[in-house]
Amino acid sequence: MNGQPLTRARWLRIMACYTAALVIVASIAPWFGATPLSWRDVWAAWREGGGNSAWWIFAHQRVPRVLLGIAVGMALGMAGAAFQVLLRNPLATPYTLGVASAGALAAALTLVVPGLATGLGPLRATQLSALAGSAVAALGIFALARRLRGGSTNILLLSGVAFNLFCGSALLLVRFIADPQHLVAVDRWLMGGLVTIGYWDVLGMLPVVATGALLVLLRTHALNQLSFGEEVAGARGVSVRAVVAGTFFGGVLLTAGAVAVAGPIGFIGLIMPHAVRLLSGPDQRIVIPASALLGGAVLTLCDLGARTWVAPTEIPVGIVTACLGAPIFLLLLVRRCR
Amino acid sequence: MPDAVLELRDVLYAYPRSAWQLGPLALDVRGACMTGLIGPNGSGKSTLLALCARQLHARGSVRVFGRPAAAYAPREWARCVAYLPQSVAAQFDFTVEETIAFGRYPHTAVMGFLGPRDRAVIARCMEQTELTALRARRLSELSGGERQRVHLAAVLAQEPRLLLLDEPATALDIHHQIALYHILRECIAAGITVLLATHDLSLAAHFCDELVLLAHGAVVQQGKPADVITEELIQHVYGAHVRVATLPGSPAPVIVPA
């Protein structure tokens, strides 16, 4: 955070630090959990071509779960950073615009009304309907904002927030009329979790999230310009409408992909960009990718806690992130206001 | 006489749901000259600048360096024309040097990393605007006038051939107002064309080659400062009782209250 214009060397150095943090967390996390694993057992099983239970737990439960945590954490961290700069609002999260609520509403409907939707390929019915719900919502909000004021981010924020509130109420209605036996499933889904076996969940979300990440990453420097307002950005050669649209749909894909597999896990998207700005300054070329890397590391750590603190059972990771995230956020706020 | 680098013909702009409109008007801005847009509040100075800067889309024809403004690609446009709006609200607390470096956007690749030439231009712009000593300060630590200079330096770092400035001197003290006009005169000497909106008629009369007086969205008078700043015109357009005098050693008119 030395205040000079960003150079390629410094960018690489900072990215290497965040990547190293993620790699360290990712290589520690699979070894802890309800069942203790020793690397000797896993190593021996791997040399013999699989077989023992230690290997099975490692390869089919722990590693996929850690990979899912990384992917979801990265998606939420990046989406949060993108929406905070796009909406010019430090309180924006991946869920501010109601895209996730629409996904949650669709997923809840699928859980409450059996047979409403079916899975397709690697995607389960809830995942597919959550993605569809998010997509419909995103297109609707964007079309409305564009009609009203050519896609201005203010209108995007206002219509998104209104839509978010509507989806929240609609979700209450669904829960109210639902058969009580389905409510448990809905509640568990809404708490957010990374329970997964095998690699289909990770692989299913990967194309969605990777497309979103690409859309956002290509625009990080244009978003620096946009942080000085649409007029200034436009005058400097930024295609404002294209950047707003690309970042919006990139953020939407990141959010929708993460929420579809893991439910609405909170606070990662809000706090990671703030933490990165405090650590490494406000340049979006750093903030956006670093929020992703830090988000992956932090969510994996939170999930490690969720799996081990009350073992052999576990807490939904969304509760852990909220319980840790809220005090940390207040701490950051106090530090900044001092 | 240099050719017009900015030509407006039959330009008409109306805001949605408002009876006020700019134009229809025609205007030529000569190259390598400083042209001042003057006129009362609400006369259309900012609107005119914004549509010259492609921020608003007007009916009629706006040609820049002989080509229709709409024909330029965004980055190509930004390398030719720079625009500084009346106020710039920065969302994040960048340093002075970072903010100025962002002006290099149309000259750099997608990640915007700077080359040696970019760094030289940034250093020169900081020198010109007397910001070198403040280069590591954050925007939140600056006064309003200093921040205004930072945004001006960022616009200069864009290395445009046409500069459109909306009241660039408003927040500046008299030393920096005069320094600003001297910087702009240096730009003119380097072949850059400047079109600026201002309320300070005496400074505009002193430093501008030409003035354009606007009222109610129309051009009332265009010409040399002495032809535009007359007691009758100022009284007529601004409704202010003034006397126009000249000081020894300068042909520029000076305005004092009557």
Q: CA of A8 to nearest chain B CA: how many angstroms apart?
A: 6
pLDDT score recorded for residue A299: 96
Q: Predicted confidence band at B1 (pLDDT cuts at 50, 70, 90)?
A: very low
Higher pLDDT, B102 or B249: B102
> For domain A12-337, which architecture applies?
Orthogonal Bundle (1.10)
Say yes or no: A214 contacts chain B, CB-CB below 8 A.
Answer: no
The predicted-structure confidence for A319-336, as pLDDT tens digits, reads as follows: 899 888 888 878 877 877
A-contacting residues of B 64-83, CB under 8 Å?
74-79, 81-83
CATH code that applies to domain B4-257: 3.40.50.300
* B97: nearest CB among A5, A11, A221: A5
Nearest Cα residue to A282 out of B79, B187, B201, B99 = B99
Q: What is the pLDDT of residue A153?
A: 78
- How much is the mean pLDDT over chain B? 93
Answer for the pair B214, B45: CB distance below 8 angstroms, yes or no: yes
Nearest-CB residue to A3 (from B76, B92, B136): B136
Q: Do A225 and B105 touch (CB under 8 A)?
A: yes
Mean pLDDT of A124-146: 89
Name the residue facing B110 among A218, A225, A229 (closest C-beta): A218
Q: Is the pLDDT of residue B3 over 90?
A: no
Contact B94 A238 (CB under 8 A): no
Contact A229 B105 (CB under 8 A): no
Pairwise CA distance, residues A108 & A175, whole Å = 8
Whether residue B84 is predicted with pLDDT greater than 60 in this model: the reply is yes
| Per-residue pLDDT at A150 | 58
Q: How far is A239 from chain B (nearest CA, A)?
A: 6
The mean per-residue pLDDT over the stretch A74-96 comes to 94
Is A236 within 8 Å of B158 when comparing Cβ atoms? yes
CA atoms within 13 A on the CB side of B157: 34
Q: Does B93 touch chain A (CB under 8 A)?
A: yes
- Average pLDDT score, chain A: 89
Say yes or no to pLDDT of A315 above 60.
Answer: yes
**pTM of the complete model:** 0.93
B112 vs A227: CB contact, 8 Å cut-off? no
User: What ipTM does this complex have?
Assistant: 0.93
Q: What pLDDT sits at residue B170? A: 86
pLDDT greater than 70 at residue A127: yes
A77 pLDDT more than 90: yes
Shortest distance, CA B154 to any CA of chain A (angstroms):
10
Of B76, B93, B113, the CB nearest to A8: B113
Across the interface, of B75, B84, B98, the residue whose CB is closest to A237 is: B75
Percent of chain A clearing pLDDT 70 (strictly above):
97
Q: Which two tokens stand for residue B78?
A: 């930004």
Q: What is the pLDDT of residue A272?
A: 95
Q: Specify the pLDDT at position A149.
A: 66
Contacts of B112 in chain A (CB under 8 A): 6, 221, 224, 285
Task: Say if residue A1's pLDDT is above 60.
Answer: no
Cα Rg of chain A, angstroms: 20
Testing the interface with A: which of B80, B84, B92, B126 to mutate, by most A Cβ within 10 A?
B92
Tell me what the mean pLDDT of segment B139-164 comes to. 94
Q: Which among B89, B103, B114 is the nearest to A236, CB-wise?
A: B103
Distance CA B22, CA B43 (A): 8
Tell me the C-alpha to C-alpha distance, in Å, between residue A129 and each of A104, A108, A113: 9, 9, 12
Tokens of A26: 């990712």
Amino acid at B230: T
| Phi/psi at B68 (5° precision) | -60, 135
| Separation in Å, CA of A284 to nearest CA in chain B | 10
When pLDDT is averaged across residues B20-40 and rounded to a whole number, the result is 93
Instruction: State the burial class of residue A312 (Cβ atoms within 10 Å of its Cβ: 0-12, 13-18, 19+).
Output: exposed
Rounded Cα–Cα distance for residues A175 and A263 (Å): 16
Question: Mutating which of A217, A231, A276 best tests the B interface, going by the most B Cβ atoms within 10 A?
Answer: A231
pLDDT at A338: 67
Are the CB atoms for B52 and B61 separated by under 8 Å? no
Q: By the CB < 8 Å criterion, does A229 face chain B?
A: yes
